[in-house]
Amino acid sequence: MISGWKGTYSGQHIKRSEVIDLSLEGNVKCFDWVDTPSYDTGGLVSNTVLVCGGKFWNDTDSDECHSLTADASTFITKMSVARIGSASVVINDDTTLWISGGESDVAKSSSEYINLGRSMSGPDLPVPLDGHQMVSINATFTMIIKGPSICYSCTGTSSTFYYNHVEKTWMNGPDLSLTRKKFAAGIVTDQVTLERLVIVTGGRPKEETLVIGHHGLEMTDSTEILLEDQWITGNI
């Protein structure tokens, strides 16, 4: 796993990226990795760390994708549009990075595929999206959990959408039980049934019990898990 920082609340960009080694049972460690520009989204594509979008050192939005190793960042291709506030998911047997949305008018309604070192147009989005999350449920379905605009004054949302890669169609998914912004989402595997479960965690809710996080922002420590197309409350 790799974690790249997009910047601090003071506006100062952080160059460092880190690898989190989960193979050391009971002794998980973080290791410094290559210094990078401020990337927006990415994933492990064809066994290569691929990152795209974000901001350059001069604070302009990036339309570039780079591969990362422990000591180098290598330019791969340009996207169709600069993207910040986008989301992505790895699909097609881990060979393709699907990137969607972003802050600009063009970005927030579009998506694209990064495959074999080039960008290809993806499906138009069902609604304008930025600050959202994407998770791959299986080879057929990807879920998008809608985020609000990146603006600090915007309220959270609870909408979700499914994309069917076979039929190339969108359909509405179940609403989250809690309205959220600036949340995280991912896939966990049930160790008994081996079922892949979507989990949504944290963020800033609209009107709920809150805890105070970093920088004094009101945050929630709640989680939700998707079971049989319904969201249930998980552990805090």
Instruction: Tell me what percent of the residues of the chain surpass a pLDDT of 70.
Output: 83
pLDDT at 135 over 50: yes
For residue 174, what pLDDT is reported? Answer: 96
Mean of per-residue pLDDT scores for the chain: 85
For residue 175, what pLDDT is reported? Answer: 94
Write the burial class of residue 216 (CB in 10 Å: 0-12 exposed, 13-18 middle, 19+ buried): exposed
Dist CA 7 CA 145 (whole Å): 23
Beta-carbon count within 10 A of 12 CB: 7
Enter the tokens of residue 179: 């309205």
138 touches 196 (CB < 8 A):
yes
**Could you state, in order of their start, the residue ranges of all structural domains in the chain?**
1-125
Contacts 24+ apart (CB under 8 A), 89-96: 89/43, 89/134, 89/135, 89/136, 89/142, 90/43, 90/44, 90/45, 90/136, 91/136, 91/139, 91/142, 91/165, 93/139, 94/44, 94/45, 94/46, 94/47, 95/45, 95/46, 96/45
Q: What is the pTM of this model?
A: 0.87
Instruction: Tell me what percent of the residues of the chain surpass a pLDDT of 90.
Output: 53
CATH number of 1-125: 2.120.10.80
Highest mean pLDDT among 26-30, 140-144, 226-230: 140-144
Instruction: Please write down the HEC assignment for all residues of the chain.
Output: CEEECCCCCCCCCCCCEEEEECCCCCCCEEEECCCCCECCEEEEECCEEEEECCECCCCCECCEEEEECCCCEEEEEECCCCCCCCEEEEECCCCEEEEECCCCCCHHHCEEEEECCEEEECCCCCCCCCCCEEEECCCCEEEEECCCCCCCCCCCECCEEEEECCCCEEEECCCCCCCEECCEEEEEECCCCCCEEEEEECCEECCCCCEECHHHCEECCCEEEEECCEEEECCC
For residue 217, what pLDDT is reported? Answer: 56
pLDDT at 200 over 90: yes
112 touches 87 (CB < 8 A):
no
